Structure 1
Amino acid sequence: MSKRDYYEVLGVDKNASAEDIKKAYRKAARQFHPDVNKAPDAEDKFKEAKEAYDVLSDDQKKAQYDQFGHVDPNQGMGGMGGQDFGGFGDIFDMFFGGGGGGRRNPNAPQRGNDLQYTMTIEFKEAVFGKETDIHIPRTESCDTCHGSGAKPGTKPETCGVCHGSGQQEVVQNTAFGRIVNRRVCSSCNGQGRIIKDKCGTCHGSGKVKKQRTIHIKIPAGVDDGAQLRVSGEGEAGTRGGPPGDLYVVIRVKSHEFFEREGDDIYCEVPLTFVQAALGDEIEIPTLTEKVKLKIPAGTQTDTYFRLKGKGVPRLRGYGQGDQHVKVVVVTPTSLSEDQKDLLRQFGKESGEHTHEQNQSIFERMKKAFLGD
């Protein structure tokens, strides 16, 4: 099944800024995260969005994707005319018989693979930051052979078949010219070298699996779906190459009282009918403390009040967001007879809820819908 266009996955165009791409990914991550979306395809869509963001948020990968799409320009061009051509250099060899470039040196240092670790934290840990240790299983360079794969006191030998190139060549002279067909060397499996006496610890691979403890600093203000890069903590490189990086993906648990939108915090507070009608001063919990909030007389339900600077610390910048308090007027459900009498008296004096008034309202509605 062919992959969807990464821009289509995130719902942005090719001219989208890095910030727009990030916002689109965060929106998709919140929508399709398996912890909150139980649809059968939610996890696949979440992974699809993650893959798209990993490419489009990296300038080098994005440039490569914009030029080549999902095709890896470094892959071989297998299947062309039933022959396996090793790369662009081999295409020139095929038609012109030259020794074009494009060969990879199998003995050159290679960077290790990147790793990804998903970490779930509490709501307030995301707000205020956190330092913790995580345990990562990864491959590391073998301490016994120092990554060579050879038994101590010995060293790998250059392959006598491919002479260190990692490829075997079959030359054919045809009516169209000289064709050079390259394949992975069957003697050394493309490594360019042979290890006769293998290391007893890593069995010739040069790498071993280990559990590594890594100290992580989560910055204050990090949001769900954020990705922290820990340089050099990925898989070990090959033949002296640098290690890859570790990417820690943050998942933030929901809070029972607060909701977050960007750097702002939202909460809902109940008011009694008396408080809303007469006004009051109530106590509101914030992320750090309790503060007083003045409710003016005549406040209606669903009214919002802003507590400036009581939101989340800004991850890139100074200051904090705001806290928005929504008040909801709660209708009492259990009234004593005295309370009911008082409300009836109130309704009578204010002209509310009388039979005559209800009739007049009904008549006005009838006229509005049916005409005179």
Structure 2
Amino acid sequence: MKDPYEILSVARDAEPADIRKAYHRLAKKLHPDLNPGDKEAESRFKEAASAYDLLSDPEKRRRFDSGEIDASGAEKPPERYYRDYAAEAGPGYRYENQSGYADFMDNDDFLAEMFRRQARRARGADAHYRLAVDFLDAVNGATKRISLPEGGSLDVAIPPGLQDGQILRLRGKGGAAPGEGDPGDALVEVSINPHPFFTRHGDNIHLDLPVTFGEVVLGAEIKTPTPTGPVMLKTPKGSNTGTVLRLKGKGAPRRNGRGDLLVKLRIVAPMEPNAELEAFLASWAPANYDPRRDMKP
């Protein structure tokens, strides 16, 4: 949300009276009953009402200024997994407090009635959750279930290609409205668990693939994992450690297809002693072969 001080066009050290005057000025200009059918005016009025509700309450204003809550009045979430965390949606909503309408009710019956109607139509509060998903579920898509702290559960559809830190909005799954308005939304921030051998960079996925001496010197077809299942990868004859092979369309989904899987070959010597290999290497003395020739001073 926008900064409430900016919405009301007041300084951060503004006095309560100045905040009230700024809100009155905007409300008389933007109220939906005075601007029937004007969606922009209605949206700006809701922003102004929310901003005034926060700044007119000394405790809310103090907590916002100190960074304890955001501009919507919601607690800023701690760094925990979703099993331990869900912001308190509560039965109320930031428009539930009608203190911001008090001056109008005292001085202007017409505006007071409009504000009462607006309060009845206020939507419920948004609920905030965090959800950790596996790497391949984020790439390929899945459905995950959140256990809610107040009981029950919430099914979350993970769209294919989801990025770490994205927030999914589940409309109507938040707190109930205090009056006749619609329920709030559930906002689910997704964190992606690391994969043991895949890493993601944009729409491309990277893989370090262990290979033998023979598979790079002679060339081979190697069964290679991809996010959508194993495929046969052909290593060109004369490949080496660091050679990168591209599997097109085997990366993360995007709007016009999928990214690529970039496979970097990595030669791995046998872990156990091998007499046959040792005998061969002892007798192998290729001419003009010096892997450290570029490191000579």
Q: Give the TM-score range, shorter chain.
A: 0.5 to 0.7
1:223 is paired with a residue of what secondary structure? coil
**What is the TM-score of this pair, normalised by structure 1?**
0.48
Would you say 1:87 and 2:17 are equivalent positions? Answer: no
What secondary structure, in the 3-state scheme, does the structure 1 residue paired with 2:258 have?
coil
Counterpart CA distance in 2 for 1:221 and 1:228 is 13
Quote the residue 2:266 is aligned against: 328
1:228 paired residue number: 168
Matched, 1:73 2:10: no
Structure 1: distance between partners of 2:235 and 2:200? 23
Q: Which residue of 2 aligns with 1:125?
A: 137
Aligned to 1:313: 253
Alpha-carbon shift at residue 304 of structure 1 (Å): 0.6
From 218, 236, 255, the counterpart of 2:195: 255
- Listed as ranges, the matches of 1:43-192 within 5 Å are 55=1, 61=2, 65=3, 71=5, 73-74=7-8, 86-88=20-22, 105-106=115-116, 108-109=119-120, 110-136=122-148
For residue 220 of structure 1, report the CA deviation from its aligned partner.
1.9
Letter in 2 for 1:87: K
Q: CA deviation at 1:289?
A: 2.5
Q: What displacement does 1:332 show? A: 4.7
Q: Aligned pair 1:339/2:273, yes or no?
A: no
Paired with 1:238 and 1:289, the residues of 2 have a C-alpha distance of 49
Question: Map of 1:187-336 to 2, 5 A cutoff?
Answer: 211-314=151-254, 317-332=255-270, 334-336=272-274
C-alpha contact 2:5 2:11 (8 A) present in aligned 1: no
C-alpha distance 305-266 of structure 1, shift in aligned 2 (>3 A): same
Letter paired with 2:22 = F
- How has the CA–CA distance of structure 1 residues 334 and 102 changed in structure 2, closer, same or farther, with 3 Å as cutoff? same
- CA offset at residue 325 of structure 1? 0.7
Tell me the CA shift for residue 121 of structure 1. Answer: 1.4
In the alignment, residue 287 of structure 2 is paired with which amino acid? S
> C-alpha displacement at 1:81, in angstroms?
6.9
Larger radius of gyration: 1
Cα deviation code 1:258-313 (max 9, x no counterpart): 11222222111112222222222211111232211111121121111011111222
Q: Distance in 2 between matches of 1:254 and 1:324?
A: 17
Identity among equivalent positions (%) equals 32
Q: Distance in 1 between matches of 2:138 and 2:198?
A: 13
Distance, in Å, in 2 between the alignment partners of 1:111 and 1:233 is 12
1:128: Cα distance to partner?
A: 2.2
Counterparts of residues 345-356 of structure 1 (less than 5 Å): 345-347=283-285, 349-352=286-289
TM-superposed deviation, 1:331: 3.9
Task: Please tell me whether the aligned partners of residues 140 and 228 of structure 2 are also in contact (alpha carbons under 8 angstroms).
Answer: no
Which of the pair is proportionally richer in helix? Answer: 2
* Alpha-carbon distance in structure 2 between the residues aligned to 1:327 and 1:218: 32
CA distance in 2, matches of 1:82, 1:339: 84
Relative to structure 1, the CA distance from residue 74 to residue 289 in structure 2 (aligned partners, 3 Å threshold; closer, same or farther) is same
Q: Residue 269 of structure 1 contacts residue 327 of structure 1 at CA under 8 Å; is this kept in 2?
A: yes
**What secondary structure does 1:251 align onto?**
strand
Structure 1 residue identity aligned to 2:188:
V
**TM-score, scaled relative to structure 2:** 0.59
Higher RCO structure, 1 or 2 (CA under 8 Å, sep 6+): 1
- Paired residues in the alignment total 215
Query: 1:225 and 1:335, CA in 2 relative to 1: closer, same or farther beyond 3 A?
Result: same
CA distance in 2, matches of 1:82, 1:226: 37
Deviates more, 1:239-248 or 1:295-304: 239-248
Q: Give the gaps of 5 or more residues in structure 2.
A: 27-106
> Structure 2: which amino acid aligns with 1:346?
W
